[in-house]
């Protein structure tokens, strides 16, 4: 394999490991290092994102929230500022979390069904999403 071919392969592997899925107000990014980042769509500052060690960490946070939860409940997990609201919206937008926004002020979501158990390997997310 030539050096150029190896570089192309390395780029392709990196692209396959980094996946971004956009929703209405938020996006989720599976990063190359295995972390999962929730970002506010269209924003580019660090104050508009939250990085988790893995998707499973976000799943566990969701599972520990009460059946009806608000940004204040998310804040009790140590998340501060506008990230709390961003996560409530991400839970409601992402198809792997069964909940819906029930009130806009204060921003409140309600779980619609029992959360599925975590999949082997630490991730409850089973779908594969191509990078944009």
Neighbours of 32 (CB within 10 A): 13
**Residue of higher predicted confidence among 8 and 2:** 2
Q: Which two tokens stand for residue 124?
A: 């409850």
- CA–CA gap between residue 110 and residue 99 (Å, rounded): 5
Task: Report the chain's C-alpha Rg in angstroms.
Answer: 16
pLDDT tens digits for range 81-125 = 999 999 999 999 999 999 999 999 999 999 997 645 544 444 444
Smallest CA-to-CA distance from 132 within 24, 16, 3 is with: 16
Q: What is the pLDDT of residue 7?
A: 61
Find tokens 């059946």 and name the residue: 67
Find tokens 């506010």 and name the residue: 40
3-class DSSP assignment, residue 2:
coil
Q: Which two tokens stand for residue 89?
A: 């919206």
Find tokens 């580019």 and name the residue: 44
pLDDT tens digits for range 22-81 = 999 999 999 989 999 999 998 777 678 999 999 999 999 999 999 999 999 999 999 999
């Amino acid at each position: 394999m030539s050096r150029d071919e190896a570089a192309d392969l390395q780029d392709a592997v990196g692209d396959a490991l980094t996946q971004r899925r956009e929703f209405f107000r938020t996006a989720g990014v599976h990063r190359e290092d295995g972390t999962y980042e929730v970002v506010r769509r269209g924003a580019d500052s660090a104050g508009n994102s939250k990085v988790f060690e893995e998707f499973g960490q976000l799943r566990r946070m969701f599972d520990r929230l009460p059946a009806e939860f608000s940004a204040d409940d998310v804040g009790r997990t140590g998340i501060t500022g506008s990230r709390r609201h961003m996560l409530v919206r991400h839970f409601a937008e992402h198809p792997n979390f069964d909940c819906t926004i029930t009130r806009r002020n204060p921003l409140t979501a309600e779980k619609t069904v029992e959360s599925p158990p975590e999949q082997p390997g630490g991730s409850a997310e089973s779908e594969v999403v191509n990078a944009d």
